[in-house]
Structure 1
Amino acid sequence: MDSREPPSLRFASLLEEVWRLLADGQRLRQSPFHQAVLATSTARGPSARYVVLRQVDRERGMLGFHTDRRSDKWTEIERDPRVALCFHGHNVQVRVEGRAILHHDDAVADLAWKRTGLMSRRCYLADPAPGTVTPKPTSGLPAHLSKDRPNEAESAGGRVNFGVVIVPLQRIEWLHLAFEGHRRARLARTGAGPWRGEWLVP
Structure 2
Amino acid sequence: MTVTRFCFIRHGETAWNTQRRLQGQLDIGLNENGEGQARAVGRWLARRGGIDVIHSSDLSRAWRTAGHVGMALGLTPLPAPGLRERRYGVFEGLTYTEAREWHPEHYARLEAREPDFVIPDGESLRQFHDRVTAGLETLLERHRGQTLVVVVHGGVLDIINRFVRGNSLSAPRDFLIPNTGLNWVVQDRDGWHIEAWGETPHLEAGALDELR
TM-score band by shorter chain is: under 0.3
- The structure richer in strand per residue is 1
- The structure richer in helix per residue is 2
Q: TM-score, normalised by structure 1?
A: 0.23
Higher normalized contact order (CA 8 Å, seq sep 6+, divided by chain length) = 2
Structure showing greater Rg: 1
Q: TM-score, normalised by structure 2?
A: 0.22
